[in-house]
Amino acid sequence: MADNETAVFNTIQQTPNLRSGLVDTLIAQIESGDLAPGQRLPTEQAIMTATGVSRTVVREALASLRAKGLIITRQGLGAFVADDPHPRTFSIIPTDLESIDEVLHIIELRMGIEVEAAGLAAQRRTDEDLERMAARMTALEASILDGGSGVEEDFAFHRAILVATHNSYYARLFDTFGSVMVPRMWTRLDTMENRERKKYIARMQREHGLIFNAIHAGEPTAAQRAMRIHLNKSAARFFELRDQAIQR
C-alpha cells in the first residue's frame, strides 16, 4: 500500500495553492486509471504524510473531488473513487477559483460563450429583453454604491444577454455555474474608498453600456466587439493583480 501511495502522490506540484495541486494530481490519477473505479483512497493521514500538506488542505481537496462527482465517502470506511468517475455534468465551484490563473481560465471560457451570445442577442432581442438588461445595469450600480459586491447583479446583467439570444441553452449553461462565473472576490471593493469605488463603477458601466447600446442598435458585430473588449479588460485587470502579487 505504501508503494502505491507514493506512486499516487509523487507528481504533486508544489504550487502556492496546495489544495489545487493535490486536486489536480488526484484528478489526473483518476482519469488515467491509476486510481481505478471503486478503489479506496489513502487515509487523510497517509495523504498528509505523502504530501506534507495540512489536514485542512486534504479535507478541502477531497470535498472538491466529491463536489465534482469523482469520489464518494462511506461512513467509517473512507473515500473511494466513484464507480463512474467521469461526471456527465460539468461544474465550477467557488473553491476552483482560488488562484488568479484559474480566474483567467474562466474569463477565457466566458469569452467563447458570451461573445457569440452578444451577437445573437443583437439580432434577436425584444423590447422586454432590453428593459431587463437596463434594469440589471441599474441594479448593479446601486448595489456597489451601497457597499455590496455587485456579483449577483453583474451575473444577472450578463445572463440577461444570454436570455436575449432566445436560445435557452445559453442561459441554462450559465445557470449551471451560477455567479461563480463573476469572480468578484479578487476585486476587493470593500477596501476601496468612495472615490475609487465610483471610478470603478463608471468604468464597468461604460463597458456594459457599449455592449447594451450595440445590442439595442441591432448591430451584432459591434456587440461582439464590445463584449470581447469588456472581457479582455477584465482579464487585463487580473493580469495586473497577478503581477502585483508576484512583486510582493
Digit-by-digit pLDDT tens for the chain (248 residues) are 444 544 555 544 444 467 777 887 888 788 777 888 899 999 999 888 888 888 888 888 888 888 878 899 888 888 999 887 665 555 565 555 567 777 788 889 899 999 999 999 999 999 999 999 999 999 988 888 787 778 888 889 999 999 999 998 898 888 777 666 665 544 555 566 777 777 877 888 899 999 999 999 999 999 999 999 999 988 887 777 666 666 65
Residues 113, 229, single domain; the answer is: yes
Number of domains in the chain: 2
DSSP string, 26-66: HHHHHHHTSS-TTPBPPPHHHHHHHH---HHHHHHHHHHHH
Query: Are residues 238 and 147 located together in one domain of the fold?
Result: yes
**Could you tell me the CATH number of the domain that includes residue 206?**
1.20.120.530
Q: What is the pTM of this model?
A: 0.62
101 with 51, same domain: the answer is no
β-partners of residue 47 are: none
Residues 141 and 230 in one domain: yes
Q: Are residues 128 and 242 in the same domain?
A: yes
Between CA 141 and CA 161 the distance in angstroms is 17
Write down which residue in 81, 107, 123 finishes a domain.
Answer: 81
Q: Grid coordinates representing 167?
A: 436560445
Which of 57, 81, 105 is the last residue in one of the domains? 81
